[in-house]
């Protein structure tokens, strides 16, 4: 049975990756906006923002990556929705395959395509002045956080893709996620924000994730913030996964 | 040869969508290796029956077995035994025709997926288009690919929901030929169709679904005898299935 799951998930991943590589415009769309933010904050707003660091690009990078992931996963919801509309979903569900592979193919594809856009954005970051001397362990930790963050949001996207009734609905849920970094420590220190906004900013997941990645890259102690970040990601991941499975069961019942 | 249980047995099947009662106690039996045609007007519930048999939809009441497996409690075994060509082509538009076939072959774990794909492309007259994205195919090409995808892995029971709708006459004949070959090889085929000549030419048995139940079932010859004598005189010599269908269903239409 496990062999089946692996075989079937592999076939699904291959299929879904072909969808990504054959619509490279989606990768461009996903990366262009975060890159625009990167340039905008680096060269337009950055000069006026006091962060207490000498390299504002370093300060920006984590938040921009989270924006990229939040917009990247909306395509997962969209692709899943299209599958269900097109009838291929029913064909798969009438076949003797591991049913979970239908969803896992999309989830793994989301990881791969988001990894590509993250690498592209880090590349652009390096060009405009992003620097880190972080070691292998710190990079592993950053990768781990980003992977769990991507998984959590991807399962949210799966819920949206399974329950939406229009293609727009399948991707629109990600808009608020894209804006979350703006009300966090991603671009400006939260200390400058008025009371209630600051309280929100300091207690929403993006701030702890951004601060942890920033600290890891700066080779500073991450403190307890990384555990808050992980707790958020894992918590969202588990809840989204359970909701996705429930929605999937309803769909194939 | 020992007598084997029927390939498909349906008894007292009921299904409603909210307030709309579509199936009100459907009974039918399909023998192994036969071609069974399910006829009915638009909205009669043909697709609903096929989807229940293909484990995509749960019935509200009644039982259905496919290849001796219950569609509800042994759904996984049923899926091992069947292949479905739904009413609307279920193909991947972004992949090429060949990639679609290879994908299904890999999912069904048949040896040499590439050879299987090439062979089917040839059989369904798609060899030239095999490398092109399915998004660029015509409706008929898509349909042919869809049917080809369903043949992979030689399942003992095949459901074809309006397999030739939208095909040109030549392609229709090719699909008929494939269906005959399948039945000749022992595969059980349940097909729905709007073309009564299709049922007449292909099916060993024909059933007419009307207002939620199967109102008649039998061979073409048996159905002919159902025609009231008065009508039989009007119709010269052998009545076509179309005339029988209209005589049976048309009269009762509200
Ligand atoms: N998911 C659904 N929700 C609500 N009603 C549905 C649903 N699917 C089908 N129906 C209704 O059930 C009835 C039977 O539909 P079905 O598709 O089984 O008919 P059919 O015999 O295949 O028709 P056709 O020849 O047009 O393909 C129709 O009135 C249809 O509107
Ligand atoms: Mg139908």
For the stretch B182-200, pLDDT in tens is 899 999 999 999 888 888 8
Question: What are A108's two structure tokens?
Answer: 């793994």
Spell out which chain A residues touch chain B, with contact meaning CB-CB distance below 8 angstroms. 7-8, 11, 14-15, 18-19, 22-23, 86-88, 90-97, 252-253
Q: Whose C-alpha lies nearest to ligand 1, atom 1?
A: B17
Which tokens is B196 given? 């009564």
Instruction: Measure the CA–CA gap between B117 and B100, rounded to whole angstroms.
Output: 9
Contact criterion met (CB < 8 Å) for B95 and A15: yes
Count the Cβ atoms, other than its own, within 10 Å of residue A16: 25
Size of interface A-B (CB pairs under 8 A): 61
Cβ contact B76–A252 (<8 Å): no
Q: What percent of chain A has pLDDT over 70?
A: 99
Ligand 1: which of B14, B19, B20 to mutate, most ligand atoms within 8 Å of CB?
B20
Q: Distances in Å between the alpha carbon of B248 and those of A150, B39, B183, B208, B232?
A: 60, 12, 28, 9, 13
The closest of B78, B81, B97 to B89, measured between CA atoms, is: B97
* Distance set, CA A80 to CA A16, A106, A244 (Å): 10, 7, 12
Range B139-159 average pLDDT: 92
Closest CA to B47 of B154, B165, B173: B165
The reply to whether ligand 1 has any atom less than 6 angstroms from the CB of B87 is yes
- A 10 A CB-CB count for A227 gives 12
Q: Which among B89, B94, B107 has CB closest to A11? A: B107
Atom number in ligand 1 closest to CA B40: 21
Q: Quote helix, strand, coil % in chain A, to nearest 5.
A: 80, 0, 20
On the CB side of A2, CA atoms within 13 Å amount to 0
Is any atom of ligand 1 closer than 6 Å to the C-beta of B212?
A: no
Q: Are A7 and B106 an interchain contact pair (Cβ–Cβ within 8 Å)? A: yes
Distance (Å) from the C-alpha of residue A173 to the closest C-alpha of chain B? 25
Question: In Å, how far is A205's CA from the nearest CA of chain B?
Answer: 36
- Residue with CA closest to ligand 1 atom 10: B17
Evaluate: CB of B232 within 6 angstroms of ligand 1: no
At residue B139 the predicted structure's pLDDT band, cuts being 50, 70 and 90, is: confident
List C-alpha distances in Å: B75 to A127, B55, B79. Answer: 56, 6, 6
- Tell me the average pLDDT of chain B: 88
pLDDT of amino acid B253? 46
The predicted complex's ipTM stands at: 0.86
Cβ–Cβ of B79/A94 closer than 8 Å?
yes
Q: Check A97 against B107: CB less than 8 A apart.
A: yes
Ligand 1 centroid, distance to A80 Cα (angstroms): 24
Distance B166 CA to ligand 2 centre (A): 14
Instruction: Give yes or no for residue B91 having a pLDDT over 60.
Output: yes
| Banded pLDDT at A188 (limits 50, 70, 90) | confident
Residue nearest to atom 11 of ligand 1 (CA): B43
The C-alpha atoms of residue A227 and residue A144 are separated, in whole angstroms, by: 13
Binning chain B into helix, strand and coil, the percentages to the nearest 5 are 40, 25, 35
Q: Name the closest residue on chain A to residue B85, using Cα atoms.
A: A91
CA of B45 to the centre of ligand 1 (A): 6
Q: What does the pLDDT average to over A237-244? A: 94
Q: What is the pLDDT of residues A121-177, one digit of tens each?
A: 999 999 988 888 888 998 999 999 999 999 999 999 999 999 888 888 888 888 888
Nearest to A86 among B51, B93, B99 (CB): B93
Instruction: Average the pLDDT over B101-114 and give the result.
Output: 95
Taking an 8 Å cut-off on Cβ atoms, the answer to whether B90 and A88 are in contact is yes
In chain A, where are the structural domains located? 3-252
Residues of B in contact with A95 (CB under 8 A): 79, 83, 104, 107-108
CA of B50, closest atom in ligand 1:
18
Domain residue ranges of chain B, discontinuous segments joined by +: 8-253
For residue B106, list chain A residues with Cβ-Cβ distance below 8 A. 7, 11
Distance, CA A90 to ligand 2 centroid (Å)?
Answer: 14
- B238 CB neighbour count, 10 Å cutoff: 10
d(CA B206, CA B219): 6
How confident is the model at residue A41, as a pLDDT?
A: 85
Whether the CB-CB separation of B189 and B35 falls below 8 Å is answered with: yes
Q: Which residues of B186-225 are buried (b: 16+ CB within 10 A; e: fewer)?
A: ebbbbbbbebbebbbbbbebbbbbbbbebebbeebeebbe
Q: Which residue has the tokens 């972080």?
A: A134
pLDDT at position B254: 42
Taking the centre of ligand 2 as the mean of its atom positions, its distance from the CA of residue B173, in whole angstroms, is 21
Ligand 1 proximity of B42 Cβ (cutoff 6 Å): yes
* CATH architecture assigned to B8-253: 3-Layer(aba) Sandwich (3.40)
CA distance B45 to A167: 28
Residues A87 and A247: their CA atoms lie apart, in Å, by 18
Taking the C-alpha atoms of residue A17 and residue A187, their distance in angstroms, rounded to an integer, is 33
In the block, residue with structure tokens 């025609």: B227
Give Cβ neighbours of residue B209 (< 8 Å, ≥ 6 apart). Answer: B26, B38, B39, B40, B44, B45, B46, B49, B215
Q: What is the pLDDT of residues A28-72, one digit of tens each?
A: 888 888 999 889 888 888 778 777 777 888 889 999 999 999 999
Comparing alpha-carbon positions, the chain A residue that sits nearest to B50 is: A94
Q: Which residue lies with its CA nearest to atom 30 of ligand 1?
A: B43
d(Cα A163, Cα A206) in Å, to the nearest integer? 26
Q: Which residues fall within 8 angstroms of residue B28, CB to CB, at 6 or more apart?
A: B8, B9, B10, B36, B38, B207, B214, B217
* The dihedral formed by the CA atoms of A216, A220, A225 and A229, expressed in degrees to the nearest 10: 0
């Amino acid at each position: 049975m496990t062999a089946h799951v692996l075989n079937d998930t592999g076939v699904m991943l291959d299929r879904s990756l072909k969808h990504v590589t054959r619509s490279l415009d989606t990768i461009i769309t996903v990366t262009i906006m975060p890159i625009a933010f990167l340039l905008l904050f680096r060269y337009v707003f950055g000069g006026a923002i006091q962060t207490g660091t000498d390299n504002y690009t370093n300060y920006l990078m984590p938040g921009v990556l989270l924006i990229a992931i939040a917009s990247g996963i909306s395509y997962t919801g969209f692709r899943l929705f299209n599958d269900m509309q097109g009838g291929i979903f029913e064909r798969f569900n009438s076949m003797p395959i591991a049913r979970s592979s239908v969803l896992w193919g999309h989830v793994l594809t989301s990881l791969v395509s988001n990894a590509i856009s993250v690498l592209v954005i880090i590349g652009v970051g390096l060009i405009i002045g992003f620097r880190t001397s972080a070691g292998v362990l710190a990079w592993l930790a950053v990768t781990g956080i980003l992977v769990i963050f991507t998984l959590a949001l991807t399962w949210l996207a799966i819920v949206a893709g399974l329950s939406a009734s229009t293609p727009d609905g399948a991707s629109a849920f990600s808009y608020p996620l894209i804006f979350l970094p703006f009300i966090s420590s991603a671009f400006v220190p939260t200390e400058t924000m008025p009371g209630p906004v600051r309280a929100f900013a300091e207690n929403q997941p993006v701030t702890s994730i951004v601060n942890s990645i920033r600290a890891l890259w700066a080779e500073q102690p991450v403190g307890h913030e990384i555990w808050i970040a992980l707790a958020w990601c894992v918590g969202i991941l588990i809840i989204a996964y359970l909701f996705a499975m429930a929605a999937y069961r309803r769909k194939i019942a | 040869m020992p007598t084997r249980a029927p390939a498909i047995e349906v008894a007292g099947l009921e299904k409603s969508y909210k307030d709309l009662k579509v199936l009100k106690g459907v009974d039918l039996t399909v023998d192994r290796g036969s071609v069974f045609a399910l006829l009915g007007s638009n909205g009669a519930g043909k697709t609903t029956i096929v989807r229940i048999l293909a484990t995509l939809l749960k019935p509200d009441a009644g039982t259905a077995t496919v290849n001796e497996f219950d569609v509800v409690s042994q759904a996984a075994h049923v899926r091992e035994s069947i292949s479905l060509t739904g009413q609307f082509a279920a193909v991947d538009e972004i992949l090429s025709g060949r990639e679609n076939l290879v994908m299904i072959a890999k999912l069904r774990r048949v040896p040499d997926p590439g050879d299987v794909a090439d062979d089917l492309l040839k059989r369904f007259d798609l060899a030239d288009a095999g490398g092109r994205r399915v998004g660029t195919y015509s409706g008929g090409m898509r349909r042919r690919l869809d049917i080809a995808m369903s043949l992979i892995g030689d399942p003992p029971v095949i459901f074809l929901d309006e397999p030739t709708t939208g095909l040109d006459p030549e392609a229709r004949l090719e699909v008929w030929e494939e269906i005959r070959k399948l039945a000749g090889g022992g595969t059980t085929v349940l097909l729905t169709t709007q073309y009564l000549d299709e049922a007449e030419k292909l099916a060993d048995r024909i059933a007419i679904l009307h207002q939620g139940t199967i109102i008649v079932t039998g061979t073409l010859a048996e159905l002919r005898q159902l025609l009231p004598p008065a009508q039989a005189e009007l119709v010269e010599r052998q009545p076509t299935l179309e005339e029988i269908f209209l005589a049976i269903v048309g009269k009762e239409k509200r």
